[in-house]
Every structure is written in structure tokens, then in C-alpha cells.
Structure 1
Amino acid sequence: MKPLLLENTHRKLYIYFLLLLAFGVSLGKFIMSIAIISLTLNWLFEGGFKQKLKKNKELKYAPTILSGAFIIQVLWLFQTQVFSDGIDDLRIKLPLLFLPIIIGTTPSLSNLELKKVTYSFILGLLISSIIVFCADLGFITPKKTTGTFRDISLFMSHIRYSSLVSFGMVVLLFLVHKTKYKIHSIFLFLWFMFILYILQSITGIICLLLAVCLYVSIKTYKEGFMKNTLSILILIIPIISLTIYSTTIFIDHKKIKDKNELLNLSTLTPLGEKYIHDKSSLETENGYLLWINVAPKEAEKTWNERSKKTFSGKDEKNQALKYTLYRYLTSKGLKKDREGVLALSNADIKKIEEGITTSVNYNLFEKRLRSVLFELNNYKNLKTSNNHSVTQRITFLQIAKQLIKENFFFGKGTGGTKQAYKKYYTSEKKGLSSKNQLRAHNQFITDFINLGLFGFIFWLITLIYPIIKTKNTINLLYAPFLTIIIISFLADDMLERQAGVTIFAGINTFLLFGIKNKDYSSES
């Protein structure tokens, strides 16, 4: 087939649409979709399929094998009970089919073209991060999905976005060594670190730490220790500092300030209500035991006198308000009775109504870490996970274990996870409210449920084969990216939304097949 336009024109269009994809991968579905559709049409009209087949063969058919991740989903439609769910799943995953073939059979990028794509990616990430920051400040209305900090990530889930930011920071670390714009790269690195901080994404922080560690390790392995002494020191100091800081928070969280009070607990409130004391519970808030000195009748009556939000209702984060009140009172060392509620200021009342559970003004990192520790402790003691994002994942995985057993070898079919979880929740709620009755939040588990053992093995092969054949395991950028993807797959259903599919298919394919110089040795 002859090209519709001049060969050079198709090449220019390919680069232009690749720039658009790199720019738009952090800015939502519209730009991503336009870029992928345009790349596909340009590839088809360009023709030259003999040369494309030749390049595919030179790459040991790795692009075709990678596209096989989509073909497997097509084949497994025969297992799907709700066909519309399967079709919808295929629609979302279309980039897995197109991008490996398009990028894998098109001549690789020159250093100048690579430079343009890299800067386009960073520019898009910068613009999206500024929008996220404006949403955090309240200049832009955030999403209203969860009522939490997660809603400031406007273009995709905060986990997917934080993973993308983490990879962007690795790219900037690379640019510090390769570009003349070193100061700009350092400044942007620090800016994105701040964005990760306000996103409060534990997954993003883990992605960043492991990816940067791997990047420096590979660089040291290739160039020697002496050339990278400064990089190693710059890496080690913050990691040690963060470890010490986190350990201090953990120790403080476990510390009980009023342990001696257990020996001399009051039986009655000053007004005569009998206190409830659960001495077996070691749950704390700011070091004070949560489930002692509880007088629910007094607390309810007094709270309802002071607030328009009822004691038995919900706070603005959709949490049971009475528990928010109990935690807040405990954090101040107050009893959960009339005197305790009366001791609260009007500002305290407003914070409780907003869903703030502690009177202590922690920084965002400490606040998030303490929240996770509280979730884990609460789950350990009460076996409840509702409204707790970390421990809910434990519940989701417990359900997944049952679903996998039902169709172990061939799975539920493409998109079958959605109906499988929905059916499970009709008979067993697992203590989760309807809005929290979600799916696995783990891409590996999701695909095991969908594809079963046999399909899952084939699916893994399609992802691993191209990495082995292109020898990217110790690549400066690919190895950190792969680390980020694996962590993201473990923490989220990464490939169940278009943003996640495009991040994986686009960047993965680009790093595997789209770059001529895999060592990125030239200056950019």
C-alpha cells in the first residue's frame, strides 16, 4: 500500500501525535484519545507494511506479542456472563492493541525527536500538577468522588497520577545528568515532590523511593561508584531521614499517655451517667486511649445542643460523626461526656463537622501515615474496614480469593470481575457500605479473576516476553518505570481505566521500542 501523503509528512505527523500523547497522558481522556486515534489513522494511511513487518521481525515480534495482552482479553469473551461488561472492558483496553504495533513497527526516534517527546511529557505533567495544586487551594473545584484529598487529582485517580508523577521525577533525575537545563530539572523535581506530598499518596512515595534507588543503582553499576558518590549521598540522606521520621511517628502512635489512668477509672460522670470503659482496646488518638471514659447519652445530648449536625448522623467526609467526635475529644485528652463536649471551642466543633478526627495539626505526610496506622490498628482489633482505603483492600482481596476459587482455571471472562463482585455483595456485605463495595484494587488479582490460571499465565507472558527480548532489564529509565508499574498494579486496578491503560501502554511501548539509543548516552 502506497502512503497517502509523502513519507516525510507521515513521519512528521507521527512525531506530532506522539508529542500530543506524551503531553496529554497526564491531562485526561480527551487529549489521550485524540492522540491515539490520530496515531492509528496515520499508521494505516502511511502504508509501508513490508518495512513495518520487517521491523517487527527484527524485534522478534515483541510488539505483536505485547499486543497479545489485548487479544487474550478478546479470546476470553467466551467466559463473560455479562457481554456488555466484556465489550466495555475491551474498549478501555484498546491502547494495548494499537500502541505496541504502531510504535513498535515505526522507525525509532532520533535523539532530537526523543528530546521533544521528553519535554512534551514534562510540560503536560507540569500543567496538570499546577491544576492539581489550584484544586488543593480551592481555586478550582475538585472532584466530589470521595470527599477527601484524593479528589484534587482531577484527571485520573490519585494513585495513577502519583505513579505518573513518580516516573516524571525519575525522568527529571535523568535530565539533571543529560541536559544543560540542570537547575530547571532540579526545580521541577522539587515541585513534583511537593505535589506528591499534597496528594498524600503512600503508593506514589513508595514508587518514587524504589524507582530512584533503582535508577541510582543502575547508574552506579554502569559508571562506577566514584562518579556517582554525590548522587548516592543525596539519595541516602533523605531515605534515612524519612525512615527515622516514620519510625518516630510509629513509636509515638503506639505510646499510651494515660495508661496509668486504667488503674483509677471513674465509674460515673459528674452528672451520674455510667462510663463505658473498654480496657481491652488499645486504640489511641494522640496517645490517649479511645474507648475509656465514654458517656454516649451525655455526649449525644450536649453535641446536639452545640451543632446542627446530629450526633447519630455523618460528618462532611461521610464518616459516622459520633466516632469523629470521640476521636477528636480523645486527641485533646478530654472525656467523652458533657464536660468534654462543652470544653470544645467553636473552632473545634467546626473541625469535627468537617470530619477532622484530631486536634493536633500534623503535616500532611504524618497525618496520612497516622491515618494508615489507625486503620491497621482498627482492623486488627475490630475487623472492620469500611471507609478505610488501606484496610478495605484487605477485604477486597479476601473476596477475590473466593471468586478465584469459583473459576480457577478459566476465570470469569473479560470484564467479569465487575459482575462477580456485584453478585458477591448481594449476599455478603463484608461490613462495607454501598459506595465502598468496590473491586480488587490489584491488577494482577483482577486479571486472575477474569482470565483464570491459564489466561493469566498467557497474559503475563505477553508482558514479560518483550522486556526479555529487548533487553531492557537494566535500562536507566525502563527498570524504574517497570518498578513503578508493578507497584501500581499491586495497589490499583491500573488497566481498568483509560488513563491507566494509556500510561502503561504508551510509556511501556515507547521505552521498549520507540527509542534508538537505549543507553540514552547523548546529551539532550
Structure 2
Amino acid sequence: MNPDFRYPWLSFRNAYLLVMLVMLGSLPLSKYVASASQIILVALWLVEGRFPEKWKRFRERPAIWVSILIVAVLLIGMLWTRDIAFGFHDLKLKLPLLLLPIVFGTIPQVTHKELRFLLLGFVLAVFTGTLFSLSIMLGFGPADYTSDRETSLFISHIRFALMIDLAVFILFYYIVNPGGKMGDRDVKTGDRRSPLQGRSFAFRLLPFAVYLIVFLFLLKSLTGLVVLILGGMILTLRWGLKQSDLMVKWFVVVSVATLPLLVAVYLSDQVSKFATVRDNLENLDRVTAGGTVYWHDMENRMTENGYRVGLYQCEPEMRDAWNKRSNLKYDGLDHKNQELKYTLIRYLTSLGLRKDAYGVSQLSEQDVSLIEKGFANSLYRQPKRLRVRIYETIWEVDQYRKGANPSGHSVTQRLEYLKTGWAIFLDHPWIGVGTGDTRDSFDQKYTELQSRLDPAWRLRAHNQFLSFLIAFGIIGFILIMTSLILPAILEKRFGSYFVLMFFITAMLSFLNEDTLETQAGVAFFAVFYALFVFGTDEK
């Protein structure tokens, strides 16, 4: 563009920055806008021209060549795939992994000031997304939600939790380094500070960081919490090992090593409490206060808060008493489409109440409402406590071990996914099933293994590493992981705070999610990967 143009702000540089800002800001709010902004960014790159300059940068940065190796593996995997249509769908889905490194790697890198502006724009978008979710949690939103994952309106709640993690790490960086660079560069150079710099601005960021951490606990995403805690531990350890004072160094190392032990002790205590049966099985009453005979199902070993679900059941009294208290019938369904009577039985059990007329009469209006919504334990009186999510997980695993159907339970479903996916990999260990055959391979293997999962819940691996192994085997897996990790090494970027925290967030998500098998996941990974590895030299 003509440098003498009368509107100097109307430049390709500013256009790039605007599109990048929209792209980052839309990641937690709209996958459609995120996709559209990526298309616009590539179109802008083409319209700008200057291909000799871009070709020169491309040739001088072998890391870009390596980064697009993942797409080459997908193309080669098409040679032995049977489902060509799904293979092309997967290729289309992963196009950002090809295009964004090329775009970010062949245009001038963003400056420290520009990067700060872009990243804080992303943080603001994440904060906005949490406000929508919080409004639903507090009952101000349009949705009468029955699960915490429903409060994430725009993207998967796990993906949203990962973005919250990254936003917290970004805020932490700018709180500790208010000049935007290690060593507070602006003080040394004497440059005038931006409104987004300085100690006063850093202090304003602190409440946002605290709020996002608290919100992450409210969201109760185990993946998000694990990433936050492990990321925080790695940051603390990284800082401690750099200290010259030996006492400080040892204190940090011991503290970081102690935290997992404390978590293990707490979880062990929760499992022990779960397994402890409070009922006196030696002397069970035979009739209710109203004279009706109890049924004691001794074979039912399910417990709720330490009480046996099968004991002290009197269905005639429960039915009459419940139908007088609720518009939802005892023999009908709750709001989660579960048989209401079983939700009621489990809820009464969790309170230590007997399943009879007197037990139902002891329920508060809050209890009745929770049962109608499908919540089967009194712990949901305080649903935002992390202990509730931990209890859910222990209960799921306990039921799974006893042979229950894992359908609809996030943790035990994943155990089925991993078992099935590993069996597929062992059948095709070297080159995998091909780019497009993962879905069909899972369908066949679920049938072959006679999985307990209902057909609607028979999904793919939910582990990106395993998904790579299934589709491309050991050879393809090595090539793909090389394409993801080696560019950061070649660009000497692993010393960068942002690259480190992004890789921690992304790689931990790979353990629990098919991050690169969804549009939102690919966008999240490709945008930040291209920006942090190729688009900036921020340390």
C-alpha cells in the first residue's frame, strides 16, 4: 500500500491486527466468527501480495515446513482409508494447522505492545463468556440448567475451561511484568507507557485473575482445574529453581512436591468416606411408622453418602407421599429424563432417611426441586462445591466397577473409550486405520467388544494422543508429534513463558480430549500455536 496514502492507519498491518483481535476474541464466544476470521486472515494475506518477501521468510524458517508435516501425514493417511468423505472432512477441519503457521510465519511479527493488546483482548472475551455462564448459574439466564457443562453457552465447557486457564496464565504474566516484557523494558528505554502498562494497571488485572480462578472452581471442570494446578506448580518450580538462595530453592521444591501428596491424602479420605457403610445391617426394622412392611434389597450394594440404597424401601408410601408434594409423578421422569422414583430413592438415602412416607415428608422445598431436576444426592444443595464433582467421580467409578452402564457419566465413559481405542490401535499398530476410518473402526470395535455403552454414547477416544495412534499408527504418531514440538525448538521458543504455558495447557488437554478433532479445538490450538511460536518473539 502507498506509504503516502492520506489515511496511514488504514494499512495491511493494522488490518492484520484487527482480524487477529477478532479471531482471538471469538474463540470463547463464537466458533463461527472464529472460523470466518481465519478465512479473512488468509484472504488478507493473499490480497497483500509481497510473495517474494513471504517466500524468502518461508525458506529461511524451516520450522514452518516442519509444522505443516501434520497435514502431510493426513494426506498420506488417505491412501488406505475407506471412508474417503470423512477423510476429506478431517482434512478440511485441520486446515488451520496448515494455513495459520504459514501466515504468521511469513508476515512481520507482532510487537510486545501489539501482543499485549491482542492477549488482553482474548482475556476480556473469556471474562465476557464467564459472565454469561455466571448469569445462568445464578438463575438470571434463560436456561434452567441441570448440569454445569450447560452453563458454557458458546463452546464445550472443557474447551472453555482450558481458555480460562490460558487467560489466567496470561494475566499472571502481565501482573508480574507490567511493562509487557521481563525486566520492565519501558523503564530502561524511557519509552512512554501504554495505558495497558504499569504497576497500577497490573493491580487492576489482579481481581480479574482471582475471579477467573474462582469461576473455574464453580465450573467444576476437572480438566481445567488439573491444568491450572499443574501449570501453577510448574511455574512455581520454574521460578524457584532460578533463585540463587538455596533455602528459597529448597522451600519451593518441597512445597511443590508436597501439594500432590496433600491432594492424594484428601482424595483417599473421600474414597474412604464413600466406602464406609453407616447402616446397621445387623438389626433392620421390618415395618414403617405407618405399619407397612419394608423391603430390604440386600443384593443392591449401591450407597449414597455411606447409606445403602437398597434398604428401608416402602414404595406404596413413597408414591402417595411424593405425588402430594410434586407435580411430577412418582412413576414418571425427572427433568433429566431419568425415572423419578430412582432419583427420589437415592436422594432420600443420601440424607439418611428411610424410603417411606415419613422420609418424603422430611424433604424441604429445595430438596423437592432438586429431585425434580434430576439430582440424586443432597450434596447438590451446595452444587458449587468441588467436593460434589469429586463425589460424582468416585460414584461413577464405583458403579462402573460393579458392572453398571457408564453411559452419560463423563469419567467412566472415557474408560470405555480408552479401552476400545487401545484395542483398535493394537489391531493396526504401525500405520493405523487411515485418516477417515476412525469413526467406523470405533463402531465396529464397540460391537465386537459388546460394550455396555448405549449407541448414543459410543464416541471416539477422547484422548488426542490415542486418536493419532489409531488413525496413523506409531509411524504417523511420531511424525505428528515431531511437527507439533520441533518447530518451537527450531525457533528457540521453549524458553518463552507463553509457549511453555500454552504447551502445558494443550498437551494436558490432549490426555482427556480429542482437542484436534473438533472445530473449536483446532481453532484454539492453531491460533495460539501460530501466534506464540511464529508470530512473536516475546519471552
Tell me the TM-score normalised to structure 2 length: 0.84
Matched, 1:204 2:206: no
Q: Could you tell me which residue of structure 2 aligns to residue 316 of structure 1?
A: 335
CA displacement at 1:157 relative to structure 2 = 0.7
Q: Could you tell me which residue of structure 1 aligns to residue 168 of structure 2?
A: 169
Deviation sequence 1:230-252 (CA, Å, 0-9, x none) = x969x979968984994486167
Of residues 364, 383, 387, the one that matches 1:366 is: 387
Give the whole-Å Cα distance in 2 for the aligned partners of 1:132 and 1:387. 22
In structure 2, stretches of 5+ residues that fail to align are 179-197
Taking only aligned residues, the RMSD between alpha carbons, in angstroms, comes to: 3.3
State whether residues 143 and 154 of structure 1, in contact with CA within 8 Å, keep that contact through their aligned partners in structure 2.
Answer: no
Matched, 1:131 2:132: yes
Give the whole-Å Cα distance in 1 for the aligned partners of 2:102 and 2:125. 24
State whether residues 176 and 202 of structure 2, in contact with CA within 8 Å, keep that contact through their aligned partners in structure 1.
Answer: yes
Deviates more, 1:287-296 or 1:420-429: 420-429
Secondary structure at the residue paired with 2:402?
A: helix
Deviates more, 1:342-351 or 1:205-214: 342-351
The code of the aligned residue for 1:501 comes to V
| 1:453-472 matches, cutoff 5 A | 453-472=474-493
Deviates more, 1:285-294 or 1:19-28: 285-294
CA displacement at 1:46 relative to structure 2 = 2.5
Give the whole-Å Cα distance in 1 for the aligned partners of 2:344 and 2:362. 12
The code of the aligned residue for 1:327 comes to R
Give the whole-Å Cα distance in 2 for the aligned partners of 1:505 and 1:381. 41
Matched, 1:379 2:378: no
Deviation sequence 1:40-96 (CA, Å, 0-9, x none) = 11222223333333333443x112211221222122123332222222222221111
| 1:21-170 matches, cutoff 5 A | 21-59=23-61, 61-142=62-143, 147-170=146-169
Q: Could you tell me which residue of structure 1 aligns to residue 454 of structure 2?
A: 433
Secondary structure at the residue paired with 2:122?
A: helix
Tell me the TM-score normalised to structure 1 length: 0.87
| 1:120-519 matches, cutoff 5 A | 120-142=121-143, 147-179=146-178, 180=198, 181-222=201-242, 224=244, 243=263, 246-247=266-267, 250=270, 253-254=273-274, 256=276, 258-259=278-279, 261-267=280-286, 271=291, 273=293, 275-278=295-298, 281=301, 283-295=302-314, 299=318, 303=322, 306-360=325-379, 361-362=381-382, 363-425=384-446, 430-517=451-538, 519=539
The code of the aligned residue for 1:391 comes to T
CA displacement at 1:208 relative to structure 2 = 0.5
In structure 1, stretches of 5+ residues that fail to align are 520-524
CA displacement at 1:437 relative to structure 2 = 2.4
Equivalenced residue count is 509
The percentage of counterpart residues that share the same residue type is: 29
Secondary structure at the residue paired with 1:104?
A: helix
Q: 1:182 to 1:189 in 2, by over 3 A?
A: same
Q: Could you tell me which residue of structure 2 aligns to residue 18 of structure 1?
A: 20
Give the whole-Å Cα distance in 1 for the aligned partners of 2:245 and 2:415. 41
Deviates more, 1:201-210 or 1:399-408: 399-408
Query: Of the two structures, which has the highest relative contact order with CA contacts closer than 8 Å and spacing of 6 or more?
Result: 1
Q: Could you tell me which residue of structure 1 aligns to residue 185 of structure 2?
A: none
State whether residues 294 and 312 of structure 2, in contact with CA within 8 Å, keep that contact through their aligned partners in structure 1.
Answer: no
Give the whole-Å Cα distance in 2 for the aligned partners of 1:286 and 1:29. 41
CA displacement at 1:300 relative to structure 2 = 5.1
State whether residues 218 and 474 of structure 1, in contact with CA within 8 Å, keep that contact through their aligned partners in structure 2.
Answer: no
Deviation sequence 1:421-479 (CA, Å, 0-9, x none) = 33445566623234322221111112222222322222122112113222333432222
Give the whole-Å Cα distance in 2 for the aligned partners of 1:459 and 1:127. 35
CA displacement at 1:293 relative to structure 2 = 2.8
Q: 1:56 to 1:352 in 2, by over 3 A?
A: same
CA displacement at 1:257 relative to structure 2 = 6.0
The code of the aligned residue for 2:105 comes to G
Secondary structure at the residue paired with 1:314?
A: coil
Give the whole-Å Cα distance in 2 for the aligned partners of 1:48 and 1:266. 87
State whether residues 307 and 352 of structure 2, in contact with CA within 8 Å, keep that contact through their aligned partners in structure 1.
Answer: yes
Q: Could you tell me which residue of structure 2 aligns to residue 522 of structure 1?
A: none
State whether residues 315 and 355 of structure 2, in contact with CA within 8 Å, keep that contact through their aligned partners in structure 1.
Answer: yes
Give the whole-Å Cα distance in 2 for the aligned partners of 1:426 and 1:225. 60
Give the whole-Å Cα distance in 1 for the aligned partners of 2:441 and 2:124. 41
Deviates more, 1:71-80 or 1:158-167: 71-80
Give the whole-Å Cα distance in 2 for the aligned partners of 1:424 and 1:237. 41
Q: 1:87 to 1:32 in 2, by over 3 A?
A: same
Secondary structure at the residue paired with 1:477?
A: helix
Give the whole-Å Cα distance in 2 for the aligned partners of 1:347 and 1:287. 22
The code of the aligned residue for 1:55 comes to R
State whether residues 236 and 256 of structure 2, in contact with CA within 8 Å, keep that contact through their aligned partners in structure 1.
Answer: no
The code of the aligned residue for 1:48 comes to R
